[in-house]
Amino acid sequence: MPEIKPFRAYTYGATHQKSIKALVCPPYDVISPDQRETLMNRNPLNFVRVELPTGDPSTRYTAARALWDRWTDQGVLKREANAAFYVYEARFRSPLDGRPLRRRGFFAALKAVPWGQGVYPHEKTLPTHKADRLQLFKALWAQTSPIQLLARDGDGRIDRLIAAHQKGAPWIQFTDEARVAHRFWKWSADAQAEEMARLFQDTPCAIADGHHRYETSLAYGRWAKRKWGAASPASAYVMAYFSSSGDAGLEVLPTHRAVSWEKRQFVKLAGWGRLKPVTGLRDLKALMDGKKGPGLREVGVYREGKYFIYQFTKTPPELLKRPHAQLPVACLHAGPLKGLGKEDFFFTRTPEEAVEEAGKHNGWAFLLAPNTVNEVLDVSTAGLVMPPKSTYFYPKIPSGILSHSLHGAF
């Protein structure tokens, strides 16, 4: 089962924390070229210069290392003197329906182990992303953004321990452009930290976000063991952010998709369900907001200016007696759209964009309900994975607040 421990994080020095809003950036995999340029211009010390280095592939990672060394030498970045957990709370409004939400969890160092040994994926990964992160890890000897995990917490003990360490004024706090309020507290190693570590010995965890970083950490650990042997215990751990599965603030957004007419031989709706006409996109809102409840096997469909509710009447054989069987996104990819790969879809979190893309290419838009946290956990801990872009956990955790040393001791 998962092994966690406190760690000594790298963070911006105290004099820079006053302007932390201008220094942090999103995780590398959601930063567009235009957004990177905006972040670069915002502040010369913005973390995007380390998180997402660009330029010649033969030099950009060494340039990132040179910058990292300069910032640590100058005190822009400093390493905490003592190991700790770090409690994090995000307050925001749901992009689905505007509800005020609070998500909380904590950061710890997680021992990276092969899949199925207490840590489970819920989607497949792409080799290109892993190659990029591995080169950055090797250059920096550090991990710059966390993975995010869901911890099954049936009796709420994990949630209660997290809440107990939100006392007093936050260590770091700011509100970003999306009006997400971020607050961090240090949780010094104490008896309750030891209790949390013991809880995780019986707590399976599923990756919510950061599959590539987790697999990169495994590869890095093997590389570091060959390079330094037992002299670098930190290299066997990955920085992780954990949320209790019972946290009401966990917001999972749906990712809608469009398929062009040229892929029509793979779109076989008639064999798996029936189409029910509706007036327009507004009639699909309750579905896309998740208000119809989990386990309802329906998908919104747009085709040639018309909108439909697609109701599954048949379960793809490969999903029978599996947790996937009641998930519309799984049934869609294993049945009507089987044969299409990730590269065949246009993905978006905005239903209007999916409809627009389908219209431009005389194709189909498929509008989905969000999956629930328990659905993700049930699928992943059964040793299975979901179709591509099945989940989008919101909001993303900013990079630059905490980094984890991958070299030497804790």
Predicted local confidence at residue 292, as pLDDT: 87
Which DSSP state fits 23?
A: T
Question: pTM of the full predicted structure?
Answer: 0.94
The predicted pLDDT at position 296 comes to 85
Give pLDDT < 70 ranges for the chain: none
pLDDT of residue 167: 86
pLDDT of residue 243: 96
Domain regions of the chain by residue span: 4-251+394-405, 255-369
CATH of 4-251+394-405, one of 3.40.50.300, 3.90.1530.10, 2.40.110.10, 3.10.20.30: 3.90.1530.10
Rounded mean pLDDT of the chain? 95
